[in-house]
A and B are shown apart, each in its own frame.
Chain A
Amino acid sequence: MLRLGMRLSVGGGRPAMVSAVLTALTVALGAAFVLVGLSISPALQARADRAAWTQMDLPDQQAGTSGTVTVSSSVSYVGSNQVRVVTVAAPDAQGPLPPGVPQMPTPGQAYVSPAVAELLEQNPQVAGRYGEVAGMVGPRSLRGPDDLLVVRGAPVDQAALDGVTVTSFPHRGPLPELSGVEKLALALGSLALAAPVALLVSISVQLNATTRQRRRSALDLVGATPAQLTAITIGEVLVPVMAGAVLGPLVFAGLLPLVARVPFEGTSFYQSDLSPGLATTATVLAAVVGVCLLGAVAGSRTVVASGVPSRRQPTPRKAVWVRGVAALLLALLACLLLAVSSRAATVSAVAAFACALAALTLSGPALVRWVGAGLERLPGVAALLAGRRLREHPRQVLRPISGVGVAVLVTVMFAAITPAAARSLDRSREVGQQEGTAQASVPYVTTAAADDLVRLLARVDGVLSPTTVKTAQVTMPDGALRAWIGDCAGIAAATRMNGLDCGSTGLVVGADAAAIITGEEALELYDLDNARPAAQDAVPDSTEPDVAHVATAGLSTMTSQPGVDMPDVIVDPALLDIDPGTVRPTLIVFAYTTSSALETARTLVESRAHSATVATRETTFEGFSQDARRLYDAVGFGAVALGVVSACTLIVAAAAGLIERRRSYTILRTAGSRLRTLQASVVLEGAVPVLVFGLVCAVVGVAMGWALTPGNRYPLAGVVSPVLWILVVAVATFSLSALLVGPLTRSEETRTE
């Protein structure tokens, strides 16, 4: 029977071949989209694995031991580009070689990634910042082709200050931790993407359904058993579906260059990372084939034997009512779940979204029927034909437009969720630095070296008022205050702080902090950094103090400085009850007038101070906004994928609908209908329901977005434009598809079929 089915599928001439090719392509596209989705996680894991050696936190040996390597990581900036700098040091050649470099860099030598090499070429001020460039870092250490990574050499004692010493490198890295809202966005996005992909796959087996149903009816009449009919149906779709399954990985390979370009966490992907694996690929292809065959069999089971070409079992009126009640119940359940999800339950939010999707799917045919009834009342033959089609075949009409509906629903919903989620992730408001000022973190320099740096910085054109700062914490009953110990006037000039009046007492406290310390006779400062830099885990030198006190008498106040990078208290070193020389500075602050001056200053500091980073308002903002940017990256990627899948669904379904009805159009033309009338009816029967269904989905999406982000104002203005675009593209697709009516009704094969 399988053979008979295959014989039937290839015996239909050119139209059957066109349908088979379309089926194969649609299955291939569906399979490829699923493979793309499933390749993201392995790609992120592959990235994490290659970067694992730069993010170690557990040493297994003492620094300097033979056969070890010490690794420390820091961050550098070129403009707003974040460069990961990994400092490595080995006492001998017995230790492991960092992946991606041909040999261990000696102190002063560096290997850079191709993207960093490009940055160095474009920014002469950066030359020498990381040492002498000895070669390139290979892909084995890079997260992506445009990853910014420097592997530089250093003496062991320097790297050991904040490094980890190991005898081997880990091969498995942790995946990025997802926050609650990210998990919610990811879950909703996956569900939203799964719906049109499932639709696309289901459409693939419906392409030649009318012809198959006609055949099935004839075969049923001559006595084919249900089992034989099932086998024949499978045989009919097996060849194109299998061809699609074979083509799927090829389409996936064709999509890879585009998908790999999508930036995530600052870098695009290596194509080789985007591999779901052989077992997953085989499982996906088997599942797609299985779903297609099941869909074809299920669809054909509703056909019954008849003397007329094909007769479908009519939908009982009772079933229509059941569907309506189910849709209503699902909508109510969605509302209930949304009420629960406002208390941040991801599962209930996803369930609410699924219920809303199901309710829309169930009520869609009734909506299309209702639109059809309205169209029928309009004047003109085209409106009558379109209206009748909508009323008689609402599900077939709904098929191409449901992908558009999902796209609209998701767009308007994420338009509300994403900014709210980003606001919850984005800590950019905590950045207090002024524009044109910089803070150079120099955690491991001596006082003399810091003073030297300040002198050198002062000579750089465009760098103003550099000064050193010793940092500490102030003990408070409800937490700690940030204290900067240094010259207040110098700090004021370098940081351009608002409302900073240094006064004459040498102790300046922010207004908020001043309210807390009222009544305290002295402030206790701790976390002072000893004059001699030492490894973080080294035992502190007991001869040097790490606590100091300052009397509060006569303190002056300043405007409270917002931001975690700004001080609550500024203390003149002379007021400390210890020798200030026993404490080393860990911060150099300065102002700058040009980006060139900033880069020169960065090169100066970072090339002389281990693990130094020069931060500006822009880079601190970038650092704090990483989670938000990651969310935007993911949502952007999902939106593009959803748009592509929905567009494919729309185009395939619109074309397939016309091919399936070519005989009806031919009869209508033979009966004297004008081509323009038929084309108008095609446009009306596609465009009107897509607009109505799209608007209903938009309203549901707005409601869901509003409910999921209570207290936030819905960004209605930002939603109008993308929704309009989606609907305009959908209407344009239907308009273009109407042009097919002419060629299809001219086909000689249609006449003789």
Chain B
Amino acid sequence: MAKSVTSEGRGSAAMRTMKTAVELAILERSPYPEKAAFVNLEEPNASDVIDRAIEEDRAVVLVAADGSTRTLFSEGRLENDLRAPGKHADAISNPLLEALDKAYGLPGKDRDLREAVRGTLEEALDDPQLSASLLRGLAILSTYGPDRSWRTIIDLAQELGMAPSTTHRYVKTLRAVGLLEQHPSTREYRPTALSGH
């Protein structure tokens, strides 16, 4: 008697990841490379798909059964899941937060430095050669002092003069790469703590 194959099927984590990836690509909000092939690692002929994608100079997004992804670039570089909060915290957030803490940690200079950083970022936003998205993300981080107090999206949006929806998108991105963490009950955000702090 035949039975349907459900391991890659309806409601599985891998399937949810695939469907989300399509929706995000269509909305131009995909966190994956622009030219990519998506394949479920459980598939018996996944290696054929990978070979073909690499021949076409396409990155391969490998989707595991638990829905996590790894991206294999044509030059052989393998990048872990960017969607999982915290995975990149040590690699990415520590050096940046360390620099921010160091800057903000100077006695008596906290407010002045923060305002100087803000001013610089606002000026930089007028330069079309610079990435506005990155600058806005840095502006969000620059609103936090060394005490890392929790802040709401509305609070951040008002301080930066940004739309709450836009602020939410940037905050969500910063959280996805481990730069911000979210309070489990109040839903407020703050920079992720440095290890050993």
Do these two chains really belong together in a complex?
Answer: no
